[in-house]
Amino acid sequence: MMKKIILSFTGFLLYMNFSFALSATDFPTSFSIKADPDCLQCRRLVSGNQTLGELKLAPNKKGTFYYFDDQNQLQYTFILKPKKNYKPLQFDISDQYQQVIAHFNVVPTPQTGMVGAFSLLSEDSKTILFTAIPGLFSMGKLTIKDENRVLGEIVRDFTDLDSEVKITDKQRFLSRAKGVDINILYAALAFNYIGTRLLAVDE
């Protein structure tokens, strides 16, 4: 009986590792972030005709976001933390078991009240997995990078809330977040140009 349980658990782990490997391999080097005209704090990620996931402001909340995967299953929750001094807006990212597994920082753009720069951090907040920084002369473009290299870009037309993501160094981008579910990467990127003026810490 115990042998069967061990074999079943081993098979489950192999399946999970295989699934992650497949997902990492299939991570697109380019995809779109689509805005919802009826929800300034909602974004849908699309690659061709395939929906990769969707970020939504939680119902009756002002600082809690849900991320749903391509099967419309809730995967992660972003919860806004109380703001301290002039630090960026900070979110805890929790999984389905309400365990905090990563952190997310956002710097709003004062002129527009929308998300400007943002960073995805490890569980202990000591490692920046990637950051997205707007250019000095091009507010419609964000450069995705780590501490040493450019990993990609997010480009948005000034007349549109939709954005295009291009990952130019996929191998390094994924290796930086080794062991992190790619849905967290999708969710973080989906925050591009989301409205921040109405955000508030939920009780």
The model's pLDDT over 124-134, given as tens digits with 9 standing for 90+, comes to 999 999 999 99
* Across 104-133, average pLDDT: 92
- The contacts of residue 26 (CB under 8 Å, 6+ apart) are none
Domain 29-189: top CATH class: mainly beta
Give domain limits for the chain. Answer: 29-189
Measured between alpha carbons, how far is residue 32 from residues 55, 72, 145, 179 in Å? 13, 17, 18, 24
Q: Cα 187 from chain centroid? A: 3
Structure tokens at 184: 């967290």
pLDDT the model gives residue 66: 98
* Cα 48 to chain centroid, rounded: 19
Confidence of residue 101 (pLDDT cuts 50, 70, 90): very high
Does 8 score more than 50 pLDDT?
no
SS3 17: helix
Q: pLDDT grade, residue 138 (50/70/90)?
A: low
